[in-house]
């Protein structure tokens, strides 16, 4: 599709004698005010009474639910502290880029040290793992302290870089996107997904504490399924559209940029018809998630092109054409697509137990080919099937994702696509737009 990515935006920062220029100060004040207002609104929304399927689940999950209010207030405190100091504002662009790269190297070092500690404790021949790991543990704690210092300015730099990408794309007012890009790297909650057994439909998604053991996950799924007669699955989540948004800590900058901008799209839509209709139907949820997925990939890639060009992954078609290796014998997306199509057929014929047996057989096939799927059930497809940004996916033959992708291909620019989708609140709106 055509986009608005032909001319890079040059951002010039004017400073007086140790004082940030008035326009920069004004933007900081606007950002701080927006954070307070949106965060207060989201916290008020989180206090609304439980309704529908989530109300039934609450008795199973009450002691395991994630504390969004506490997390949001902590994250907001970090953001306000960094905004009040604005240490990143006094760095040149090359220094900003280097700051992000240094943070990622430190995080990679922390991951390596954590792996060493895990190996020490897993070694059955190690008589005193605590003593053996003491030096490595001390090194890890030192790296983590350094990461804690780096993280706020690194987040601020990436927020501003994402804002430049959005302004360049034409989805910003007065040179700044609204709401302002705001995210916080964090351990993310787990999600409990519930679907009916007779059809694939996400009836509830509850966020749980991030440190659930595998035994707790399996026990919770079994208890919910036994008592409510539904399909349940505990899944990891890559990002949450709170404000500031919650993003998984990672050393993969391309993935991080994509998720940051994916979640910003959710924040943008929250203030508009499509976001308000997120839970109105499975169709509007798929429209919302597919829109955020398509734009998150496009905007995230553009951020890398502008600031970290050496990290830009090759396009999928280009990497495939340049490779001399034969195509994979097992195509995960194609196989998952085929599995979903067959499951939908069996459920439509009322063959619920047959569909569940088929999914377990297929899960074993995926595991044999190196894809360690713990459970493959209706809840799995209800969660993953909403992300229909690719023709072959867990969405199966769902026409909603296909319609969103068609509008994406037809749109003159990412901004035009976003505005068109944001104004919709039903699948019928999407079909009418395509029919024009």
Query: Is residue 227 situated within a structural domain?
Result: no
Q: Are 179 and 276 found together in one domain?
A: no
Model confidence band, residue 317 (pLDDT cutoffs 50, 70, 90)? low
By residue count, the chain amounts to 436
So what's the pLDDT on residue 21?
43
Tokens (6 digits) for 284: 């509007």
* Angle made by CA atoms 91, 97, 163, in degrees to the nearest 5: 85
So what's the pLDDT on residue 52?
58
> What average pLDDT does the segment 330-355 reach?
94
Per-residue pLDDT of 270-314, as tens digits, reads 989 999 999 899 999 999 999 999 999 999 999 999 999 999 988
Q: Are 29 and 160 found together in one domain?
A: yes
Per-residue pLDDT of 184-210, as tens digits, reads 998 889 999 999 999 999 999 999 998
Give the residue from 185, 206, 235 where a domain finishes: 185
Nearest to 146 by CA among 113, 116, 115: 113
Query: Is residue 385 situated within a structural domain?
Result: yes
Q: Which residue range(s) make up the domain with 342? A: 272-317+329-436
Number of domain units in the chain: 2
Residue 154 has pLDDT above 90, yes or no: yes
Q: Are 288 and 164 found together in one domain?
A: no
What strand order describes the sheet that includes 204-208?
204-208, 190-195, 231-236
Give me the percent of the chain exceeding a pLDDT of 70.
83
Task: Report d(CA 194, CA 196) in Å as an integer.
Answer: 7
Query: Is residue 263 situated within a structural domain?
Result: no
Query: Is residue 220 situated within a structural domain?
Result: no
Query: Is residue 54 situated within a structural domain?
Result: no
So what's the pLDDT on residue 162?
96
| Radius of gyration of the CA atoms of the chain, in A | 23
Which one is predicted more confidently, 241 or 49? 241
So what's the pLDDT on residue 14?
35
So what's the pLDDT on residue 241?
77
Query: Is residue 251 situated within a structural domain?
Result: no
Query: Is residue 296 situated within a structural domain?
Result: yes
Give the residue from 132, 159, 185 where a domain finishes: 185
Per-residue pLDDT of 119-142, as tens digits, reads 888 887 888 888 888 999 999 999
Query: Is residue 394 situated within a structural domain?
Result: yes
So what's the pLDDT on residue 225?
95
Q: Are 178 and 284 found together in one domain?
A: no
Q: What is the mean pLDDT of the chain?
A: 84
So what's the pLDDT on residue 351?
97
So what's the pLDDT on residue 261?
96
- Contact (Cβ atoms closer than 8 angstroms) between residue 168 and residue 27: no
Q: Are 276 and 181 found together in one domain?
A: no
Task: Report d(CA 380, CA 21) in Å as an integer.
Answer: 51
Residue 322 has pLDDT above 90, yes or no: no
Task: Report d(CA 87, CA 97) in Å as an integer.
Answer: 14
Q: Are 131 and 280 found together in one domain?
A: no
Helix (H, G, I), strand (E, B) or coil at 252: coil
Q: Are 34 and 156 found together in one domain?
A: yes
Strand residues in 179-281 grouped as ranges (E): 183-186, 190-195, 204-208, 231-236, 239-240, 245-248
Main-chain phi, psi angles of 330, to 5 degrees: -130, 110
> What DSSP string runs through 212-246?
--HHHHHHHHHHHHHHH--EEEEEE-SEE-SSSEE
Per-residue pLDDT of 209-264, as tens digits, reads 988 888 899 999 999 999 999 999 999 887 787 888 889 889 999 999 999 999 99
Give the residue from 185, 211, 234 where a domain finishes: 185
Per-residue pLDDT of 9-46, as tens digits, reads 333 333 333 333 444 544 555 555 555 555 555 544 44
So what's the pLDDT on residue 340?
95
Per-residue pLDDT of 369-415, as tens digits, reads 989 899 999 999 999 988 877 777 777 788 999 999 999 999 999 99
Model confidence band, residue 89 (pLDDT cutoffs 50, 70, 90)? low
């Amino acid at each position: 599709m055509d986009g608005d990515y032909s001319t890079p935006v040059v951002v010039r920062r004017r400073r007086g004698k140790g004082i940030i220029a008035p326009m920069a100060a004004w933007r900081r004040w606007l950002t701080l005010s927006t954070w307070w207002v949106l965060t207060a609104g989201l916290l008020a929304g989180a206090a609304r009474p439980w309704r529908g399927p989530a109300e039934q689940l609450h008795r199973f999950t009450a002691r395991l639910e994630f504390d969004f209010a506490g997390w949001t207030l902590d994250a907001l405190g970090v953001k306000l502290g960094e905004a009040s100091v604005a240490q990143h504002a006094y760095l040149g662009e090359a220094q900003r880029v280097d700051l992000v790269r240094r943070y990622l190297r430190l995080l990679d070092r922390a991951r390596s040290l954590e792996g060493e500690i895990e190996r020490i404790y897993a070694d059955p021949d190690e008589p005193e793992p605590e003593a053996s790991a003491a030096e490595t543990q001390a090194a890890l704690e030192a790296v983590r302290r350094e990461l804690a210092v780096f993280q706020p300015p690194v987040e601020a730099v990436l927020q501003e870089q994402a804002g430049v990408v959005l302004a360049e794309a034409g989805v910003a007012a007065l040179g700044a996107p609204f709401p302002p890009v705001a995210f916080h790297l964090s351990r993310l909650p787990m999600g409990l997904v519930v679907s009916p057994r007779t059809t694939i439909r996400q009836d509830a998604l509850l966020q749980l504490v991030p440190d659930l053991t595998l035994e707790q996950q399996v026990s919770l799924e079994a208890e919910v399924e036994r008592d409510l007669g539904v399909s349940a699955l505990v899944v990891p989540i890559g990002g949450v559209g709170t404000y500031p948004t919650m993003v998984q800590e990672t050393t993969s900058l391309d993935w991080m940029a994509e998720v940051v901008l994916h979640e910003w799209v959710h924040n943008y839509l929250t203030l508009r018809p499509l976001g308000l209709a997120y839970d109105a139907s499975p169709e509007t949820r798929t429209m919302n998630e597919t829109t955020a997925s398509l734009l998150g990939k496009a905007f995230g890639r553009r951020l890398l092109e502008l600031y970290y060009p050496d990290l830009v992954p090759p396009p999928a078609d280009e990497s495939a054409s340049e490779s001399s290796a034969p195509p994979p014998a097992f195509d995960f997306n194609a196989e998952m697509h085929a599995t979903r199509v067959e499951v939908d057929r069996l459920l439509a014929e009322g063959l619920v137990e047959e569909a569940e047996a088929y999914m377990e057989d297929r899960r074993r096939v995926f595991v044999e080919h190196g894809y360690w799927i713990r459970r493959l059930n209706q809840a799995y497809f209800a969660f993953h099937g909403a992300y229909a940004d690719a023709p072959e996916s867990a969405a199966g033959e769902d026409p909603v994702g296909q319609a969103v992708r068609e509008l994406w291909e037809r749109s003159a620019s990412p901004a035009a696509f976003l505005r068109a989708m944001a104004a919709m609140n039903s699948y019928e709106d999407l079909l009418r737009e395509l029919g024009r």
